[in-house]
Amino acid sequence: MPQIIHVAQVTSVLDAVREPEYRETMQDFDSLLADVQTQGRGQYRRAWSSPAGNIYAALRLPMQPPFVGTEAAVAVSAWLALGLRNLGYDCRIKWPNDLVLCQDGAWGKTGGVLLEEREGLLVAGIGINVASSPSADELRSEAALPAAHLAACARACGLEEPQCATVWKSLVNCLFSSYSQTNALYEWRSVADALLLWRSRTVVLTEDGSSVTGELRGLGPKGELILATQGGTQLFLSGSVRPAF
C-alpha cells in the first residue's frame, strides 16, 4: 500500500515533496502529510491558512490518465469524496476541485485539491478541514459556500472524532484502490457525476468577469461542466459555480 510520510511542519507540502530526500524515494501514491504549513497555498496561489489539526498533504500521482488531462482535479476530488463517504460523511464535490460536507441540511466547503506538474513530477496538494475551519470573515467575499470541518459534522452525526492521520490513510487507500481498478479510466466520471453538488439545479458559472446561467446537467469526459443554457448546451473547463437563487 502507499507510504505516508508524516512531518511536523513545512513551508508548503507542495514544495517540500519536491525536495531531494522525498523526490528520490517516494513512489506514485506515496504522500507527505504535515501537521502545519507556514506558507500554504491554494488555487491561484492564494494563501491557505494552515493551523494544526487539519490535513495538509501532497500526494504523488502517476503521469497517466485520468491524472494528466483536464479531468485530473475532478477525478481526484471525486475519489476523495468517495473516501469521506465511506467514513460516514455526507460529502460531495463542488466542481471542479472542492470537497463539501452537509451538516444540518446546509453545505460547507471542507477541502480542496490543487494539482501541480513540474519537472516531470505530478503532485496533488490536498487540504481538508478536520478540527477547524475558517470563520466567515476569513473567507473571500465571493465564496459560494461557508467553511465546514469534519469534527463538527462528526459530532452532529454521531461519528467517531476524526484524527488526521487515520482519515488521510483511509482516503489514500480509497484513491489508490479506485485507480487500481481495471476500468478506472472511466469510473471516475460516474463517481463524480453521482457526487456532483447542485446537479439538475440552475447555477451561475462565472469566469473572468462573465457569467452564464443554466441547468447543471453533469460532467463531460474531460471533466467539463455541462450547462443547459437558453442558447443550448455548453461545456466549460474552468470557472466558479454557485446556485442561481
pLDDT for residue 217? 98
pLDDT one-digit tens code per residue, 75-86: 999 999 999 999
Domain 202-243 is of which CATH architecture? Roll (2.30)
- Beta strand pairing status for 4-10 and 31-37? parallel
**Per-residue pLDDT averaged across 172-198, rounded?**
91
Identify the H or E element spanning 190. helix 184-194
Q: With bands split at pLDDT 50, 70 and 90, how would you rate the model's confidence at 63?
A: very high
pLDDT for residue 49? 65
Q: From CA 43, how far away is CA 225, in angstroms rounded?
A: 18
What is the rounded average pLDDT for all residues in the chain? 92
pLDDT one-digit tens code per residue, 19-60: 999 999 999 999 999 999 987 765 555 556 678 999 999 999
Q: Which has the higher per-residue pLDDT, 137 or 212?
A: 212
Q: Considering the chain, tell me which residue range(s) the CATH 3.30.930.10 domain(s) occupy.
A: 4-194
pLDDT for residue 183? 73
Q: With bands split at pLDDT 50, 70 and 90, how would you rate the model's confidence at 1?
A: confident
Phi, psi of 50 (to 5 degrees): -135, 65
Count CB-CB contacts under 10 A for residue 105: 5
pLDDT for residue 39? 75
Name the least confident of 60-64, 65-69, 138-142, 237-241.
138-142
pLDDT for residue 136? 62
Q: Considering the chain, tell me which residue range(s) the CATH 2.30.30.100 domain(s) occupy.
A: 202-243
| C-alpha Rg value of the chain to the nearest Å | 17
pLDDT one-digit tens code per residue, 89-142: 999 999 999 999 998 789 999 999 999 998 889 999 999 999 998 766 666 656
User: Domain 4-194 belongs to what topology?
Assistant: BirA Bifunctional Protein; domain 2 (3.30.930)
Q: Is there a cis peptide before residue 66, judged by omega within 30 degrees of 0?
A: yes
Percent of the chain with pLDDT strictly greater than 90: 80
Q: Which has the higher per-residue pLDDT, 210 or 40?
A: 210
**Per-residue pLDDT averaged across 177-184, rounded?**
84
> Any idea which residue has 478506472 for its cell?
184
pLDDT for residue 70? 95
**Per-residue pLDDT averaged across 138-162, rounded?**
87
Q: From CA 140, how far away is CA 229, in angstroms rounded?
A: 28
